[in-house]
Amino acid sequence: MSSPNQSVQQELKPIYQCDAKVHHTLRSVHDHLHQLCANHVNRLVKIETMDGDVFEGHIVHCDKSILYICLSNEGVHRGFFPGPGVPPQTYNNVILPLVLFNLLAISLL
């Protein structure tokens, strides 16, 4: 007789399974981006995301799959809105977390 956990496990079938070659490629890209960002901490960068948002700021930290940038006033107005009624001059020193896989381009300024 099977336990309830075994029957639940048999019923769960993934609707998506990453191909081994794709997984290897994604892991390589992730590792490369992580190392690149970690090597440029405290550098001023311009970042474009897959969605077309553009941010300017200093790389603060890169941890696992997240890049943290401290936004500068110059790049904030293009894609980041902290809330209604907050004037643009107060955006400075905002730390924005960005997912590495959502980054399209990183340029040093």
For 41-50, what is each residue's pLDDT tens digit? Answer: 999 999 999 9
N-term to C-term CA, the chain: 66
Domain ranges of the chain: 41-109
For domain 41-109, which CATH number applies: 2.30.30.100, 3.40.50.720, 3.60.15.10, 3.40.1190.20?
2.30.30.100
Mean pLDDT of the chain: 82
Please give the share of the chain, as a percent, with pLDDT higher than 70.
72
Q: Model-level pTM? A: 0.70
Query: Is it the case that residue 5 has pLDDT exceeding 90?
Result: no
